[in-house]
Structure 1
Amino acid sequence: MTTKILIVRTSSLGDLVHMLPAISDIARHVPQAQIDWIVEENFAEIPAWHPAVHDVITVAHRRWRKHWWSAETRAERAALRQNLHSRRYDVVLDMQALMKSVWLVRQTHGLRHGLDWRSAREPLASFFYDVKHTVNFWQPAVTRQRELAAAAFAYTYSGAPDFGLQAVIGGAVIQPYAVIMPSASRPDKLWPVEDWHKVFLRLQEHGLALRLLAGTEAETARAEALVAGRADAQVLPRMGLNDIAKVLSCARVMVGLDSGLTHLSAGLGRPTVGIYKASTPVRTPLEGPAYTASLGERGNAPSAETVLSALEQALAYRDASSAPDSLEGSYSLSGSDFI
């Protein structure tokens, strides 16, 4: 008998990437699972990449909140409500535990699972679940999501996280370039220009061109200033997630600030070095099947020397598509480890 499941996790990019291993676990442990996923419209590609996801339902909170009471927004909200009311699920699993996700959960039909008062980021959300689960807050996000899914469906998971992105990276041929993500959603996450230049020099010594990602006009301007005068560097135009995933999949290595695209690179199996300055890698370290390094800590950015050391290890990694001598593993270090 088919078990119909609705996953509620709408954003953000990095959090959705962290969700993917839990989806793989559910597909592996729940017989005949039919998994639907409700997600913010800008990130619809991510659940669609996973082969176990049956249907992707989009919501537009980010767009709607700008004009919540406009006729167009009201019509779109009504259409979503009708869509959710027309479906019947065995389990509705809220893996976000925020009041904005509860707003969606309350429009569904099915046994509603979520985090309990002590586990939820917004504890009030726990009042709206039929079944509540305890999951330790201070642990990596991938582990936290896998534990919540395992508790909801009463199984024990094992093994390394499977992001289910094989279809996305299938046929990717590694090219001699490094992807750089020098921008972030907040200015306090930015890394010093002179440190980026040291990274660029090291990558040049390894014969790698630079491909910089930028999403907004301000990010594009910052990236162009960062590589001004470099013939080996290209600031890529704004792209959709499918095209970004293709660029990342073919990169020799990726170095980026703590951003969703850096986490996507790790999930895609590319050697990835993450730079943390205004956030902690305790809860959101980079995770993936290749080499990853999560460097720094809130208020304590990693030095250029620390990043260069990790970069050398990332460049030494060889996956199955390039060479048999793999250097596997990941690590997470704060700046205090080098004081």
Structure 2
Amino acid sequence: MPHDTIARQRPGSWTPPPGSPERESPQQAILIIRLSTLGDVALASAVIDPLRRRYPHARHVWLVYPEAEPLIAGNRALDAVITIPHSQWGRLLRRGRWLRLAREGRAFIRRLRAERFDLALDLQGLWKSAIWARLAAVPQRIGVAPREGSSMLVNGLVERNPTLATPGGEYDALLWRLGADRVRSRLGIAPTRAAREAAKERLIGAELTRGFIALCPFTKRRPRQWPVEHWAALATRLHEEARLPVVLFGGPRDHAAAARILAAPGGEGIIDWTGATDIGEAAALLARAALVIGVDTSLTHIAAGQGRPTVALFGATRPWRAPVSLPIRVLGQNPAPAPSGPRSSGDGARTSGMQEIAVGEVLTTAHTLLDRRVDGVRSAMERRGA
């Protein structure tokens, strides 16, 4: 798709064409807005490094909800991460604490305005995200695929990249507009040092420092789920053939679904870490996995975005199509996109192909990635020996 059809403007809006002084001038402070969800914040983190390279001397600040903050809190390319206490404000609203809510809201807005941002990038494209760029009094505000009327709050519009070659590649059009590099193979996921240390201690305690295979099977959306018996059978075969322990990852709300997998024939050998970690430690653990297999869920995005060998089961959706050069394989049919676009969450507009993904197909793909990993380690050792 030509770039002039990807990036468009509203009348009178800020539009830095290639080669213009406005595009080439350095920004002093940049506000990146992606509030939620975990998987989407992980994918959006792809812009962090390209923006730092494009504006090396600017102050880069990310605005996010607290639950997703651990995914990017340790990224040194960010100068600060500001969290919006939306749950706390919601409780004040429900209790009728209007004055306190107003005071806290005004103080938060003053904090944002004190940063004197020059440029705001609304990566979420919703009213609840775009309003913060406006309240922060940022003069240049670009919205990525704005919806819900949020285009009225920005003065620059950019569409998502319709061809997602890599995780996070949907922001290539935005980066092109700013004169930055396109998204590379890894995202900007960076747990804190404390999260990495906690992950290390957990691996030592479980005697998994020599490697493990992570399974990320949980999602609320039924069309994205793979059958319980498939997960149990896959875990048994992987443990027997790859000679690696198999670990189940998920959140606190996934305990019931995890119990069904563990109770299925073959599930008794799986190590269950469902709900045992916060998202920061989970990301740090996945960064140490020999292989990750998961459905279209945040943990799968997090693993792939950290460069881990990943088998993604996207029979109902396909957020990205990874090239062979990356250690990522996407299995499942290619569904027709929903009316709102290829990243739509409207699963009802698609025909799920999850039932057609066979255990044998996943197993063969997993072995291919594991063999590739072993070959890479062997080559590195040979180079060091030479």
After TM superposition, is the score higher than 0.5?
A: yes
Partner of 1:264: 302
Is residue 44 from structure 1 mapped to residue 69 from structure 2 by the alignment? yes
TM-score (norm 1): 0.81
Is residue 77 from structure 1 mapped to residue 132 from structure 2 by the alignment? no
Amino acid across the alignment from 2:270: A
Amino acid across the alignment from 1:144: E
Conserved 8 A contact 2:131-2:153: no
Structure 1 residues 230, 197: closer, same or farther in 2, change over 3 A? closer
Structure 1 residues 162, 197: closer, same or farther in 2, change over 3 A? closer
Instruction: List alignment gaps of at least 5 residues for structure 1.
Output: 327-339
Q: Identity, % of aligned pairs?
A: 25
Conserved 8 A contact 1:179-1:253: yes
Is residue 97 from structure 1 mapped to residue 125 from structure 2 by the alignment? yes
Q: Compute the displacement of 1:34 (Å).
A: 1.4
Partner of 1:306: 361
Q: Which structure has greater helix proportion?
A: 2
Conserved 8 A contact 1:20-1:50: no
Matching residue within 41, 49, 58 for 1:24: 49
1:1-339 aligned at under 5 Å gives the runs: 3-61=28-86, 64-65=89-90, 68-70=93-95, 71=97, 73-115=101-143, 120-122=145-147, 124-137=149-162, 139=164, 142-151=168-177, 153=178, 155-158=179-182, 160-165=184-189, 175-205=210-240, 206-217=242-253, 219-228=254-263, 230=267, 232-236=269-273, 237-278=275-316, 280-281=317-318, 283-285=319-321, 290-296=326-332, 297=335, 298=350, 299-301=352-354, 302-318=357-373, 322-324=377-379
- The structure with the largest alpha-carbon Rg is 2
**Separation in structure 2 between the aligned mates of residue 28 and residue 84 of structure 1, nearest angstrom:** 24
TM-score (norm 2): 0.72
Cα-to-partner distance string for 1:281-320 (whole Å, 9 max, x where unaligned): 1x34579985111222441112323322321222223179
Cα-to-partner distance string for 1:227-275 (whole Å, 9 max, x where unaligned): 2375532211431122112221221111111111111011122111111
Instruction: List alignment gaps of at least 5 residues for structure 2.
Output: 1-25, 201-207, 336-349, 382-386
**Separation in structure 2 between the aligned mates of residue 92 and residue 250 of structure 1, nearest angstrom:** 34
**Separation in structure 1 between the aligned mates of residue 329 and residue 309 of structure 2, nearest angstrom:** 9
**What secondary structure, in the 3-state scheme, does the structure 2 residue paired with 1:322 have?**
helix
**What secondary structure, in the 3-state scheme, does the structure 2 residue paired with 1:244 have?**
helix
Conserved 8 A contact 1:318-1:325: no
**What secondary structure, in the 3-state scheme, does the structure 2 residue paired with 1:324 have?**
helix
Conserved 8 A contact 1:7-1:38: yes
Q: Compute the displacement of 1:112 (Å).
A: 3.0
**Separation in structure 1 between the aligned mates of residue 170 and residue 282 of structure 2, nearest angstrom:** 27
